[in-house]
Amino acid sequence: MPRLSDLDHPVPGRPAGRRAVLRLFALGGGALLLGACGSGRAEGRQWKVRHSEAEWRRRLTKAQYRVLREAGTERAFSSPLDRETRAGTFLCAGCGNALYSSRAKYDSGTGWPSFRQPLPGAIATATDFKLGYPRTEVLCADCGGHLGHVFGDGPRPTGKRYCMNGTAMRFRPA
Provide the annotated active-site residues.
163
CB-nearer residue toward Zn ion: 137 or 142: 142
Give dist(CA 108, CA 119) in Å, integer: 19
Local structure of 57: helix, strand or coil: helix
Binding mask 63-102 for Zn ion (x = CB under 5 A): -----------------------------x-xx-x-----
Give dist(CA 53, CA 41) in Å, integer: 15
Report, in angstroms and rounded to the nearest whole number, the Rg of the chain calculated over CA atoms: 21
* Residue 25 C-beta: closest distance to Zn ion, Å: 38
CB-nearer residue toward Zn ion: 88 or 96: 96
Give dist(CA 133, CA 110) in Å, integer: 20
> Applying CB under 5 A, which of residues 42, 91, 122, 140 lies at the interface with Zn ion?
140
Q: Which stretches of the chain bind Zn ion, using CB under 5 A?
A: 92, 94-95, 97, 140, 142-143, 145
